Amino acid sequence: MQNSKTDSDTRQTLIQAELKLAGSLDKRLVNLLKAIDEHGSINQAAKQMGLSYKGAWQILEKANNLAPKILISTATGGSHGGGSSLTPAGQALLALFADLEQRHQAFLAQLNTELLNDHALFLLLKPLTIKTSATNQLFGTVSQIQAGSVNAEVSISLKGGEQIIASPAISELEAMTLTIGKPVVLLINAVEISLFSNPVNSRLSARNLLSGTVIRIQDDSVDAEIVVRLNDHDTLTAIITVTSARNLQLKPGSAVSLLFKSNAVILGAAA
């Protein structure tokens, strides 16, 4: 009976998804807006969310930039801000998200119920219900395929125009039935990416060399997590040693080159 319950629970959550509006208006923003509405203070809302005051403002600034109307109004009140409240546009966004979230969950529940009743499909999907540890997950489109005797060279175009080269085995290429124009997901572990200050040494041999700008750095006593934005679109995260980060004199706004091998890229595609 225990095994039956476990299978049932797994089947009900085969399809999971988070609702996002306009790419970045997500549940974290909505919860932050709710907290501001409750406390009347960005500082208190940030504490409730486990965010710094600066981190909360970065989320709100990005949302305000994307929204056609300002979402919150803030009165002057010192280093941590004065009273804050949602504008009518902010209140409307909360109401819209609540409605869409309810429909979204109902839609997912319906899909999972259909899977629950299709035993053959469940057996097919069960081995795929895993979470990836890859820090970087990007979406792109296959632009070129060159097949060799053992491996293939697949060029993928990102939405910002950058090209990434992957080298799956021929058997993997055939299993994914990749064709020109097919959308794919790319997984790249952060530790596989090397960073260099511009200009980069042209003699480096790795197939993937991209340029970007550092937007965030988080470090501990050993490693540094460097987030780099590519061409105002996608971001890639690299993990290097703190010593390397200091030697490169990295800071937000620094121009850098990212280098990684084609076999560091794992491809995924819908059947």
Per-residue DSSP letters for 9-66? HHHHTSS-----BTTTB-HHHHHHHHHHHHHS-HHHHHHHHT--HHHHHHHHHHHHHH
Lowest mean pLDDT among 11-15, 87-91, 239-243: 11-15
15 vs 228 pLDDT, higher one? 228
pLDDT recorded at residue 4: 40
Could you tell me where the beta strands, DSSP code E, fall in 148-188?
A: 152-158, 163-166, 183-188
Residues 126 and 143 in one domain: no
Give the span between the Cα atoms of 41 and 38, in whole angstroms: 8
Lowest mean pLDDT among 48-57, 115-124, 221-230: 115-124
Residues 18 and 92 in one domain: yes
Residues 142 and 239 in one domain: yes
Q: Which of 195, 201, 147 is nearest to 171 (CA)?
A: 147
- E strand or H helix that includes residue 97: helix 88-116
pLDDT recorded at residue 127: 43
Residues 108 and 170 in one domain: no
Residues 90 and 206 in one domain: no
pLDDT band at residue 55 under the 50/70/90 scheme: confident
Query: What percentage of the chain carries pLDDT values higher than 90?
Result: 28
Residues 17 and 109 in one domain: yes
Structural domains in the chain (count): 2
pLDDT recorded at residue 165: 95
pLDDT in tens, 102-153: 887 887 787 777 766 665 555 445 444 444 556 788 888 999 999 888 899 9
Residues 104 and 140 in one domain: no
pLDDT recorded at residue 143: 94
Residues 148 and 123 in one domain: no
Residues 158 and 117 in one domain: no
Estimate the crossing angle of helix 27-39 against helix 88-116, to 10 degrees.
140
Q: Which of 145, 235, 240 is nearest to 195 (CA)?
A: 240
Output the domain CATH number for residue 187: 2.40.50.100
Residues 36 and 115 in one domain: yes
Give the span between the Cα atoms of 156 and 161, in whole angstroms: 9
Give the span between the Cα atoms of 17 and 101, in whole angstroms: 11
Domain boundary among 109, 130, 151: 130
Domain boundary among 89, 110, 130: 130
Output the domain CATH number for residue 114: 1.10.10.10
The tally of CA atoms less than 13 A away on the side-chain side of residue 112 is 18
pLDDT recorded at residue 10: 40
Q: What is the CA radius of gyration of the chain?
A: 22
Lowest mean pLDDT among 40-54, 189-203, 221-235: 189-203
| pTM, to two decimals | 0.52
Residues 2 and 75 in one domain: yes
Most confident of 63-72, 89-98, 127-136, 239-248: 239-248
pLDDT band at residue 155 under the 50/70/90 scheme: very high
Residues 202 and 178 in one domain: yes
* Amino acid making up residue 41: S
Mean pLDDT of all residues in 171-182: 87
Domain boundary among 111, 130, 149: 130
Range of the domain at 226: 136-268
